[in-house]
Amino acid sequence: MRKLKESLKPGAPADLAGVHDLRHDPFRRGSRASARRRPARTASEFGRGGWFATRFGVGALSAGLCAAACSGDAAGPEPDPAPTSPPFAGTIFIDPDIITPTDPTTLLELSYVGQESRTMFDRRVDDWVTVSAYLFDASFSDGLTIEVQVNPEFGTSAAGQTAAELYAAAIGRLPTALRRDVRTVWIHQGVQPFGGGNDNILIHTGQADLYVADGILEETLVHEAAHTSLDASHATAPGWLAAQAADPTFISTYARDHPTREDVAESFLPYLAVRYRADRISASLRATIEAAIPNRIAYFDGLALEMDPID
């Protein structure tokens, strides 16, 4: 923990934090099929203000740009066979049905073990805080365990448990390979970006509510857990760098702009979608992903990752 704390001191490179900002990612551009499934937005949703309204505003712009510029995506199922620019702004938005709340979870049990001092990163103060956290031991059917640390601002251990259960169950829907290095989960209130890395997943529940409303809680957790469990071994691995170099483009502008920090995390959810959820995504979305990052897909294939309960 000490080493990680030092890496997160103000002034440290942002990518070492592993806690990054997806709030400003423009809305996804792909998957007309998922857009069809998406409930119509109401005026009140547009009126929420802050990043949410901004996101949909940008999304409308992005969709307009796509209709004008991405003829393959907008007009038919055949994308450009050799895309020269990332097809998405950010990938957590590409389709809300890749993992859903009705999918099986590996979470077996969540036990309250009391309150103890824990040091957690809190984006609201953009710093580490030490609090007497409500602690819960989560156990999963593949033998993995996570300590869920809930900020005492939730008021009671029962309220903490409700939050811990919700997110532990969602994390249990992620494949084993992504939970392998997740030792702790931090849960705070507030509308702040999630985070990955540090053997941890950081959750702010106000932001989580927005992701739930959008149907992308699990998709976002895939991104964060990929940071936690895949970055260290793969983000700068020669094979990954070779795949980056060989592929036509990055999967998203977010990955392109942060090629070391975000490329693995941004690419993994699309990989999971085409390899394990092809029946849930549109043919157009699948073709777009496969055209953009075929070598990265082959790289992930070669890892023979443990995908329970996805596969």
In the complex, which residues of this chain contact Zn ion (CB under 5 A)?
20, 262, 265
Inter-residue long-range contacts of 53-60, CB under 8 Å, 24+ positions, other chains counted: 54/24, 55/23, 55/25, 55/26, 55/27, 56/27, 58/26, 58/27, 59/26, 59/27, 59/28, 60/27
Measured at CB, which residue is nearest to Zn ion? 265
Name beta bridge partners: 133. 116
Instruction: Take residue 153 and report the two structure tokens written for it.
Output: 């601002």
Residue 176 contacts residue 308 (beta carbons within 8 Å)? yes
Nearest CB to Zn ion, comparing residues 265 and 291: 265
Residue 185 contacts residue 203 (beta carbons within 8 Å)? yes
Least Å distance, CB 186 to Zn ion, is: 16
Least Å distance, CB 231 to Zn ion, is: 9
Torsion angle of the four alpha carbons 89, 94, 100, 106, in this order, in degrees rounded to the nearest 10: -60
Tell me how far apart the terminal alpha carbons of the chain are, to the nearest angstrom. Answer: 33
Max Cα separation, the chain? 57
Amino acid at 177: A
The burial class, CB within 10 Å (0-12 / 13-18 / 19+), for 294 is middle
Nearest CB to Zn ion, comparing residues 99 and 131: 99
Nearest CB to Zn ion, comparing residues 13 and 81: 13
Least Å distance, CB 130 to Zn ion, is: 25
Least Å distance, CB 67 to Zn ion, is: 28
Least Å distance, CB 240 to Zn ion, is: 15
Least Å distance, CB 268 to Zn ion, is: 10
Nearest CB to Zn ion, comparing residues 20 and 286: 20
Amino acid at 292: A
Nearest CB to Zn ion, comparing residues 15 and 306: 15
Least Å distance, CB 267 to Zn ion, is: 11
Nearest CB to Zn ion, comparing residues 20 and 275: 20
What backbone torsions phi and psi does residue 302 show, to the nearest 5 degrees?
Answer: -70, -15
Nearest CB to Zn ion, comparing residues 118 and 123: 123
